Amino acid sequence: MNRREAIKQGALLSAGALVSPRLFADHHKQSFQIGACDWSIKKQFDLEAFHLGKQIGLDGIQYSFGVKDDGIDLRSRTNRDAIRQTVKQTGVAMSSMAIGALNKIPYSSTDHGEQLVLECIETMATLKKEAAQLDDADLAAKVSPSVVLLAFFGAGDINGKPDLMAKVIEKLKKAAPLAEKHGITLGLETWLNEADHRHIMDSVDSPAVKVYYDVANSIKMGYDIYQEIENLGNENICEIHCKENGFLLGRGRIAFERLRGVIKQIDYRGWLIIESAVPKGMEVDRAYQKNADYLRSVF
């Protein structure tokens, strides 16, 4: 039994000892929280993402972390205060964070990419610390995200590149203990299949490293997304991108009703984050209202 498995088993035993069957039954009646990526609604690094999220009817925004001084950069206390005020005003949470900059500044092969990840972990830890000082528990929960997406596309792609995958494992072994310390999950969004993701997670051997599962990316690669999600299980998936390229959700390649069955089967409890899914000629806000309404009707 490796460290990840031991922690998982301990958590399950604790849950079984502390949680009644009635509470489990009540939990399964709850709806999933639905958010969107700030870049997909054309408001990257922008507080307006939360205002547009409220207009669309979203529960949360996946907020970007970039290089220093990109937009409303959360390294700054002033900007963190501003985002907390915006979340309080709109009621729209920070569901998670994402480092899309790694597509141009590869984590595997650059010191800058590695530093971005460490800076993001520290920034998220600071958000958590500051949230703990708030008197409003609901607001505190909405401004202390625990998941950050690490992107591996474009220049950062590691699919079919074992040497770069080995570098990623090496760097994650250094970053994971810091993430664990602060209760932060590093979500890998890649072109990799289930086996390669498992190789990375098993090699790093930390519960802080999980898969950020993007259904459209994986189906584009020819993977059986429903079987992969079932096999990976809730313990290895931190968040899910509900995505289509050029279509509204429900009108493309993803069978979302089937996906619902799979994620309920594995007892996934995380966010559903909408990405892309804007047909040609349709305004983003209109498309995302339709996408959010569709997901709520299914999930």
Determine the Cα–Cα distance for residues 205 and 158; give it in Å rounded to an integer. 19
pLDDT score for 3: 62
210 with 240: CB under 8 angstroms? no
3-state helix, strand, coil in the chain (%, to 5): 50, 15, 35
Q: For 282-299, how does the pLDDT look when each residue is reduced to its tens digit (9 = 90+)?
A: 999 999 999 999 999 999
Mean pLDDT of 88-93: 98
Q: Take residue 210 and report the two structure tokens written for it.
A: 């999980």
Determine the Cα–Cα distance for residues 91 and 251; give it in Å rounded to an integer. 30
DSSP class of residue 83? H
Determine the Cα–Cα distance for residues 41 and 95; give it in Å rounded to an integer. 15
- For the beta carbon of residue 276, count every other beta carbon within 10 angstroms: 20
Mean pLDDT of 21-38: 64
- At the second CATH level, the architecture of 32-298 is Alpha-Beta Barrel (3.20)
Give the rounded percent of residues in the chain with a pLDDT score beyond 90.
90
pLDDT score for 31: 80
Determine the Cα–Cα distance for residues 187 and 189; give it in Å rounded to an integer. 6
Closest CA to 118 of 189, 213, 184: 184
Determine the Cα–Cα distance for residues 63 and 48; give it in Å rounded to an integer. 11
Pseudo-torsion of CA 36, 38, 42, 43, nearest 10°?
130
Determine the Cα–Cα distance for residues 274 and 37; give it in Å rounded to an integer. 7
pLDDT score for 9: 57
Using DSSP, state whether 71 is helix, strand or coil.
Answer: coil
* CB environment 93-131: b (16+ within 10 A), e (fewer): bbbbbbbbbbbbbbbbbbeebbebbebbbebbbbbbebb
Using DSSP, state whether 138 is helix, strand or coil.
Answer: helix
Q: Take residue 159 and report the two structure tokens written for it.
A: 């699919």
Rounded to a whole number of angstroms, the distance between the first and last alpha carbons of the chain is: 35
pLDDT score for 26: 39
Residues 6+ away with beta carbon under 8 Å from 157? 190, 191
Pseudo-torsion of CA 293, 295, 296, 297, nearest 10°?
90
Determine the Cα–Cα distance for residues 271 and 290; give it in Å rounded to an integer. 18
- Lowest mean pLDDT segment, chosen from 13-22, 126-135, 151-160, 234-243: 13-22
pTM exceeding the 0.75 threshold for the entire prediction: yes
Map out the domains of the chain as residue ranges: 32-298
E strand map for the chain: 34-37, 60-64, 93-99, 147-151, 185-189, 209-214, 237-244, 272-276
pLDDT score for 141: 98
Q: Take residue 49 and report the two structure tokens written for it.
A: 């993402």
At which residue do the structure tokens 């999930």 appear? Answer: 299
Q: For 210-245, how does the pLDDT look when each residue is reduced to its tens digit (9 = 90+)?
A: 999 999 999 999 999 999 999 999 999 999 999 999
Does residue 16 have a pLDDT over 90?
A: no
- For the beta carbon of residue 259, count every other beta carbon within 10 angstroms: 20
Closest CA to 237 of 275, 201, 191: 201
Residues 6+ away with beta carbon under 8 Å from 166? none
